[in-house]
Amino acid sequence: MAITYEGNTASFESVIYEDEVVSFRDFLQEKAPEEVQLNFEECEDIHLAIIQLIMAYKKNYSLSYTFGEQVKLFQRVLEGFDVSENYCN
């Protein structure tokens, strides 16, 4: 597994493919409405469906990110997501 879970933290390693979507969704549903920490320090890339789950969680609950030194495209997307601009409820 490329995503490991410990408490309220999900750590992403290598490349995250679509086969991780269901387990990640289950993790977020189990933790709601608690704050979740997402660690992307060892992550190279993530599937768009994972990004969508993160954005949906962030729209309704609190979460924080940890990124590595090299800025990745998914990092720019996640950091640029403004919940006030998302009108989908």
Specify the pLDDT at position 26. Answer: 98
pTM of the model: 0.89
pLDDT of residue 89: 47
For residue 75, what are its two tokens?
């990092």
Domains of the chain: residue spans and CATH:
3-70+78-85 (3.30.750.24)
CB within 8 Å of 57: residues ≥ 6 apart: 28, 32, 36, 63
pLDDT at 81: 83
Q: What is the pLDDT along the chain (89 residues), one digit of tens a residue?
A: 699 999 999 999 999 999 999 999 999 999 999 999 999 999 999 999 999 999 999 999 999 999 999 999 999 999 988 777 655 54
64 vs 19, 49, 58, CA distance in Å? 23, 18, 9
Phi-psi region of 14 (alpha: psi -120 to 50; beta: other; left: phi over 0): left
CB hemisphere CA count around 62 (13 angstroms)? 3
